[in-house]
């Protein structure tokens, strides 16, 4: 075998430059070379890539193992594509079509990019924190015997320094400390610039303290080898250098050698003279650019030295736009090199014009051998990882017995029954809740299945024989992950658990519970989970103003509208326990189906009389979004359309109005979300020449085209009022439009017009001749 003539460090340095070139060229090509059909800015972040090409070279071609998983800073996406291009797992076409339809995505995307992307990123802060929850899931899988200890990897996040302003990061590390999280590397590209400006100085000495107090090791890589040596020789120079503010430092990096000289002359006088004599301007600029995050030796040593499982924050000092003409300039975030500048960069890399895409163009033969050998040896997983689906069979889930019950109580009961019955599904369920386990009715399940803890945690109260309904001890076979009150963490936990099949090869069935109004608190994290196609069941309860005296600030109004606009998340809102059982069965199926999705169940604490069923025909309708709970007469003039907890009012009004309004129907809507999707999908199919009629169209066509609908939900009325648009029927929408009050159900339903009187009035109005 040919012995490589370059050392690994030299090869890594060449790869660093190559990544910087290819990422810059990919962005340049998309903006300046590819034809623009619409004149829209294409964009891309050459400066943000340049600042971490060395870090990513050291990581991907030296430090990463095959089981490691990485979340890449969103605007460093082109670097990740360049890495896979060099590895042979990304195509030139995809790079040429960067930010184009079907091309390499602007920000790394698990579902849309063709290279293996472990975590999508884009909304800063979330990609960082999900790695922590994924690490927790890795521990969970090994503790439960689904993953070999030897297959355990490291979870790595590449972070922009301004990303550290996102509060969700601190919520996550606090949670991680409670769970003794490990196997994490978070690497900060500490270029001290954000999108708008250079970063404020005051905060910058504090990040290490915050992390250390959460149990992290903090490794600061401030200096490269050469700069460290130079400053060690010149105490006064070091003191001066370290006093420079972020803004001053960035400005000097931008201005270059002459500016460094002038400042040192002016501020150090005699003390700087000998040093300046030894360095010409170019040498000065190069020396002061030798920060830790650009020094390959420093990076490699730091990664090699952190091989235990202690969570580690690397703070790698860098220059934004390193090696590019706008290095350090405060406006460089979206800065693009012009054609002259990119040509100069190309020449400096010895890349011939017309050969820009050739992966190792311009690298001399000697060096090339070493670089090729390093690429070949690189342990980065190149193959696209398949997704594991269809591995767990979901048993039929019977409805819990009881003439009167709430959907929330039924949910707890179903889980308890599942746990008692045992089986694979029950064993694969992992539950989690941000400090509302008891009040969302998960308590009985946790009594059965226990809390997940890496080390045993006895139930002190039980040992002391203090009576309690919650008998919770923790251990490594427990199936409930307790979270503190931070809803963003709940969704990131669901995202990580919901990707366990993809990330670690074993599918879990994650169930998260919270109060419905607090979905809004973690909404971006929920969207993030859905964007990555993580699969889970979200149970939100209680909901609406139906929680009565407990209401006020806890009353939710708009989550059904949120769900209506959220891809990847199916909203179900059952009125009865048997509907809920069917929905949970379906939700479990969807978690493990290739074309599945996540499910959001909006439940209630209101105990309602269950309906008698003559047959099972309601079931498919309930799963499709709605069914006639009381069939309409042929061509009926009106129907009540109700969802969820207000079904008793709808049923009572239907009884009362039945004699006056012949053929009056009662449509139980279980998912406005599915009805709406079906409607638009059928329209799209018709445009394509297929004759399709959606479920909602079939349901509503039972009524007269001139008929009217009274819609009612304990939610924003717009959740259902759109139904009038399907066939053009008139609508009288009832629902909640103002912030809730506390009160008894009767008081609240009267005040917010969710009662029988309101329905009667609305029906009467619809039937009046126009």
What are the residues binding ligand TPP (CB under 6 A)?
45, 48, 51, 74-75, 123-124, 160-163, 189, 191, 193-195, 320, 333
| Nearest C-alpha neighbor of 299 from the set 120, 183, 158 | 158
Q: What track of x and - describes contact with Mg ion for positions 300 through 329 (by CB under 5 A)?
A: ------------------------------
Query: Smallest gap, in angstroms, from Cβ of residue 107 to Mg ion?
Result: 16
CB under 8 Å to 448, separation ≥6 — which residues? Answer: 416, 419, 420
Q: Tell me if 536 sits within 8 A of 456, measured CB to CB.
A: no
Query: Smallest gap, in angstroms, from Cβ of residue 176 to ligand TPP?
Result: 20
Q: Which phi-psi region, left, alpha or beta, contains residue 502 (left: φ > 0; alpha: ψ -120 to 50)?
A: alpha
Q: Which residues of 475-508 are buried (b: 16+ CB within 10 A; e: fewer)?
A: ebebbbbbbeebbbbbbbbbbbbbbbbbbbebbb
Q: Tell me if 244 sits within 8 A of 252, measured CB to CB.
A: yes
Query: Smallest gap, in angstroms, from Cβ of residue 288 to Mg ion?
Result: 18
Judged by CB under 5 A, does residue 246 bind Mg ion?
no
Query: Smallest gap, in angstroms, from Cβ of residue 333 to ligand TPP?
Result: 6
Helix (H, G, I), strand (E, B) or coil at 74: helix
| Contacted entry of ligand TPP, Mg ion, none for residue 543, CB cut-off 5 to 8 Å set by kind | none
| Contacted entry of ligand TPP, Mg ion, none for residue 573, CB cut-off 5 to 8 Å set by kind | none
CB under 8 Å to 10, separation ≥6 — which residues? Answer: 367, 370
Query: Smallest gap, in angstroms, from Cβ of residue 49 to Mg ion?
Result: 12
Contacts (CB under 5 A) with Mg ion, residues 187-216: 191, 193
Cα 556 to Cα 739: distance, rounded to the nearest angstrom:
9
Query: Smallest gap, in angstroms, from Cβ of residue 107 to ligand TPP?
Result: 8
- Rg of the Cα atoms in the chain: 30
Query: Smallest gap, in angstroms, from Cβ of residue 15 to ligand TPP?
Result: 20
Query: Smallest gap, in angstroms, from Cβ of residue 80 to ligand TPP?
Result: 14
The upper half-sphere exposure of residue 111, i.e. CA atoms within 13 Å in the direction of its Cβ, equals: 11
Instruction: Return the structure tokens found at 676.
Output: 């709406």
Apex CA 299: angle with CA 126 and CA 20, to 5°? 70
| Contacted entry of ligand TPP, Mg ion, none for residue 127, CB cut-off 5 to 8 Å set by kind | none
Pairing of strands 404-405, 474-475: unpaired
- Considering only 186-194, 309-317, 524-532, 646-654, which stretch makes contact with Mg ion by CB under 5 A? 186-194
Query: Smallest gap, in angstroms, from Cβ of residue 255 to ligand TPP?
Result: 19
Query: Smallest gap, in angstroms, from Cβ of residue 56 to Mg ion?
Result: 15
Pairing of strands 598-602, 569-572: parallel
Based on CB atoms, which residue is closest to Mg ion, 90 or 193?
193
Shortest Cβ contact with ligand TPP: which residue?
160
Cα 713 to Cα 755: distance, rounded to the nearest angstrom:
11
Query: Smallest gap, in angstroms, from Cβ of residue 193 to Mg ion?
Result: 5
Based on CB atoms, which residue is closest to ligand TPP, 193 or 555?
193
Based on CB atoms, which residue is closest to ligand TPP, 4 or 74?
74
Cα 359 to Cα 481: distance, rounded to the nearest angstrom:
46
Based on CB atoms, which residue is closest to ligand TPP, 162 or 351?
162
Based on CB atoms, which residue is closest to ligand TPP, 6 or 120?
120
Q: Which residues of 51-60 are buried (b: 16+ CB within 10 A; e: fewer)?
A: bbbbbbbbbb
| Contacted entry of Mg ion, ligand TPP, none for residue 542, CB cut-off 5 to 8 Å set by kind | none
| Contacted entry of ligand TPP, Mg ion, none for residue 48, CB cut-off 5 to 8 Å set by kind | ligand TPP
Helix and strand numbers (H, E) in the chain are 34, 20
Kindly report the backbone phi and psi dihedral angles of residue 285, in degrees, each rounded to the nearest multiple of 5, phi listed first.
-60, -45
Q: Tell me if 669 sits within 8 A of 675, measured CB to CB.
A: yes
Based on CB atoms, which residue is closest to Mg ion, 193 or 598?
193
Cα 265 to Cα 99: distance, rounded to the nearest angstrom:
47
The CA dihedral of 31, 36, 40, 46, to the nearest 10 degrees, is -10
Q: Which residues of 179-215 are buried (b: 16+ CB within 10 A; e: fewer)?
A: bebbbbbbbbbbbbbbeeebbeeeebeebbebbeebe
Based on CB atoms, which residue is closest to ligand TPP, 139 or 161?
161
Query: Smallest gap, in angstroms, from Cβ of residue 422 to ligand TPP?
Result: 43
Query: Smallest gap, in angstroms, from Cβ of residue 45 to ligand TPP?
Result: 6
Helix (H, G, I), strand (E, B) or coil at 198: strand
| Contacted entry of ligand TPP, Mg ion, none for residue 124, CB cut-off 5 to 8 Å set by kind | ligand TPP
| Nearest C-alpha neighbor of 51 from the set 333, 277, 419 | 333
Q: Tell me if 623 sits within 8 A of 582, measured CB to CB.
A: yes
Based on CB atoms, which residue is closest to Mg ion, 158 or 564?
158
Q: Identify the DSSP state of 387.
A: P
| Contacted entry of Mg ion, ligand TPP, none for residue 257, CB cut-off 5 to 8 Å set by kind | none
| Contacted entry of ligand TPP, Mg ion, none for residue 195, CB cut-off 5 to 8 Å set by kind | ligand TPP
Based on CB atoms, which residue is closest to ligand TPP, 62 or 75?
75
Which stretches of 450-547 are DSSP H helices? 460-463, 487-497, 500-504, 523-531
Contacts (CB under 5 A) with Mg ion, residues 440-469: none
Query: Smallest gap, in angstroms, from Cβ of residue 290 to Mg ion?
Result: 19
Cα 306 to Cα 311: distance, rounded to the nearest angstrom:
9
CB under 8 Å to 707, separation ≥6 — which residues? Answer: 635, 636, 637, 638, 639, 729, 730
Based on CB atoms, which residue is closest to Mg ion, 190 or 241?
190
Contacts (CB under 5 A) with Mg ion, residues 144-183: 160-162
Based on CB atoms, which residue is closest to ligand TPP, 220 or 656?
220
| Nearest C-alpha neighbor of 375 from the set 77, 107, 82, 152 | 82
Based on CB atoms, which residue is closest to Mg ion, 49 or 622?
49
Query: Smallest gap, in angstroms, from Cβ of residue 690 to ligand TPP?
Result: 39
Instruction: Return the structure tokens found at 212.
Output: 């250390």
Cis bond before residue 319 (omega within 30° of 0): no
| Contacted entry of Mg ion, ligand TPP, none for residue 51, CB cut-off 5 to 8 Å set by kind | ligand TPP
Which stretches of 592-671 are DSSP H helices? 617-624, 647-657
| Contacted entry of ligand TPP, Mg ion, none for residue 123, CB cut-off 5 to 8 Å set by kind | ligand TPP
Q: How far apart are the first and last CA of the chain?
A: 90
Based on CB atoms, which residue is closest to Mg ion, 161 or 166?
161
Based on CB atoms, which residue is closest to ligand TPP, 246 or 598?
246
Contact residues toward Mg ion (CB under 5 A) are 160-162, 191, 193
């Amino acid at each position: 075998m040919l012995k490589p003539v370059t050392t690994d460090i030299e090869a890594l340095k060449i790869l660093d430059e190559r990544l910087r070139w290819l990422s810059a060229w990919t962005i340049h090509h998309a903006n300046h070379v590819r034809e623009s059909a619409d004149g829209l800015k294409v964009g891309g972040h050459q400066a943000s890539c340049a600042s971490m090409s060395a870090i990513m070279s050291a990581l991907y071609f030296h430090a990463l193992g095959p089981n490691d998983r990485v979340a890449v800073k969103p605007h460093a996406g082109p670097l990740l594509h360049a890495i896979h291009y060099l590895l042979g797992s990304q195509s030139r076409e995809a790079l040429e079509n960067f930010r184009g339809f079907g091309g390499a995505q602007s920000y790394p995307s698990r579902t849309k990019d063709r290279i293996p992307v472990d975590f999508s990123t884009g909304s800063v802060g979330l990609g960082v924190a999900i790695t922590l929850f994924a690490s927790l899931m890795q521990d969970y899988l090994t503790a439960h015997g689904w993953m070999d200890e030897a297959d355990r990897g490291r979870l790595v996040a590449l972070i922009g320094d301004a990303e550290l302003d996102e509060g969700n990061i601190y919520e996550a590390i606090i949670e991680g400390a409670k769970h003794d999280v490990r196997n994490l590397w978070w690497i900060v590209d500490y270029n001290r610039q954000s999108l708008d400006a250079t970063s404020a100085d005051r905060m910058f000495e504090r990040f290490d303290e915050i992390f250390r107090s959460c149990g992290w090791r903090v490794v600061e890589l401030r200096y490269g080898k050469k700069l460290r040596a130079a400053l060690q020789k010149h105490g006064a120079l070091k003191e001066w250098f370290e006093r420079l503010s972020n803004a001053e430092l960035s400005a000097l990096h931008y201005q270059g050698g002459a500016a460094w000289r002038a400042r040192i002359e002016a501020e150090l006088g005699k003390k700087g003279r000998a040093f300046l004599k030894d360095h010409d301007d170019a040498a000065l600029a190069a020396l002061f650019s030798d920060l830790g995050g650009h020094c390959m030796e420093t990076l490699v040593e730091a990664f090699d030295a952190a091989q235990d499982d202690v969570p580690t924050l690397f703070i790698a000092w860098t220059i934004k736009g390193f090696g590019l003409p706008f290095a350090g300039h405060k406006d460089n975030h979206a800065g693009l090199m012009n054609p002259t500048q990119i040509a100069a960069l190309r020449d400096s890399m010895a890349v011939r014009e017309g050969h820009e895409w050739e992966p190792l163009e311009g690298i001399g033969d000697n060096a090339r051998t070493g670089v090729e050998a390093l690429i070949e040896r690189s342990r980065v997983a190149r193959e696209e990882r398949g997704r594991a689906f269809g591995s767990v069979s979901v048993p039929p889930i019977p409805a819990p017995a009881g003439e009167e019950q709430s959907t929330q109580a039924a949910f707890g009961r179903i889980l308890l029954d599942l746990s008692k019955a045992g089986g694979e599904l029950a064993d694969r369920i992992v539950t989690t809740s941000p400090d509302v386990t008891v009040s969302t009715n998960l308590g009985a399940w946790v009594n059965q299945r226990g809390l997940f803890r890496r080390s045993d945690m006895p139930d002190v109260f039980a040992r002391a024989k203090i009576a309690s309904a919650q008998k919770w001890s923790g251990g490594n076979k427990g199936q409930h992950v307790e979270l503190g009150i931070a809803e963003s963490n709940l969704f990131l936990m669901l995202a990580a658990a919901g990707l366990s099949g993809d990330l670690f090869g074993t599918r879990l069935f994650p169930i998260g519970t919270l109060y419905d109004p607090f979905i809004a608190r973690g909404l971006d994290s929920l969207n993030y989970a859905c964007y990555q196609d993580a699969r889970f069941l979200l149970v939100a309860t209680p909901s609406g103003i139906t929680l009565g005296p407990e209401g006020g600030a806890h009353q939710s109004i708009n989550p059904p509208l949120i769900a209506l606009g959220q891809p990847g998340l199916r909203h179900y809102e059952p009125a009865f326990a048997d509907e809920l059982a069917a929905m949970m069965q379906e939700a479990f199926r969807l978690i493990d189906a290739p074309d599945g999705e996540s499910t959001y169940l909006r439940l209630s604490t209101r105990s309602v009389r269950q309906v008698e069923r003559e047959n099972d025909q309601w079931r498919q309708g309930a799963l499709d979004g709605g069914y006639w709970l009381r069939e309409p007469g042929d061509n009926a003039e009106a129907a009540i359309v109700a969802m969820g907890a207000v079904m008793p009012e709808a049923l009572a009004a239907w009884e009362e109005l039945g004699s006056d309004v012949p053929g009056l129907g009662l449509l139980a809507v279980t998912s406005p979300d599915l009805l709406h999707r079906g409607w638009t999908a059928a329209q799209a199919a018709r445009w394509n020449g297929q004759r399709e009629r959606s479920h909602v169209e079939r349901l509503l066509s039972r009524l007269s085209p001139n008929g009217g609908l009274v819609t009612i939900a304990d939610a924003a009325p717009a959740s259902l009022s759109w139904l009038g648009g399907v066939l053009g029927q008139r609508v009288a929408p009832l629902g909640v439009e103002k912030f809730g009050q506390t009160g008894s159900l009767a008081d609240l339903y009267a005040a917010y017009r969710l009662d029988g009187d309101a329905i009667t009035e609305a029906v009467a109005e619809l039937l009046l001749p126009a």
